[in-house]
Amino acid sequence: MTRKLYILNGANLNMLGLREPQLYGTTTLADIEQNCLKLAATLEFDCVFRQTNSESELVDWIQEAFLQDAALILNPAGFSFGRIPVLDAVKLLVRPVVELHITNIHRRSEEYRHSTISVAATAVICGAGANGYLLAIRAIDDLWNAPR
């Protein structure tokens, strides 16, 4: 059986490396994707890596992950804060879900501190920078057979 892993990224993450480098660093999303695909292959995951600025497209991809019996790493970005359709889609998943944030959202201004997605996540990683993606893949590998 092939283990499937979706790594989905929300709004504005396509601008990593350019957008607020003092917060997000200079690593691009393409760099992150390359590192993720390499580690995922090493851990024997069939990995899908995507980014969208559209909430409806993100919901469609999360539903696709559910239908593929995949685990999910989700950096919801701006879709973290009050986005019920994304939350409802995440609740469908049976496999582990890691919510990921490049920055430590708990150290940021109030509007960035409370992710609605966290209540449906198996685990949350925040503040580890771009390396958080690799930590999340390793967490998914460890959690694969754990009940959600």
**Residues forming the active site:** 24, 101
CA atoms of 87 and 62, how far apart (whole Å): 10
Beta bridge partners of 75: 9
Is 142 within any annotated ligand binding site? no
CA atoms of 56 and 60, how far apart (whole Å): 6
CA atoms of 131 and 137, how far apart (whole Å): 10
Alpha-carbon Rg of the chain, whole angstroms? 14
Is 102 within any annotated ligand binding site? yes
Is 52 within any annotated ligand binding site? no
Contact assessment for residue 102 and residue 75, using Cβ atoms and an 8 Å cutoff: yes
Is 9 within any annotated ligand binding site? no
CA atoms of 102 and 23, how far apart (whole Å): 8
Binding region for substrate: 75, 88, 102-103
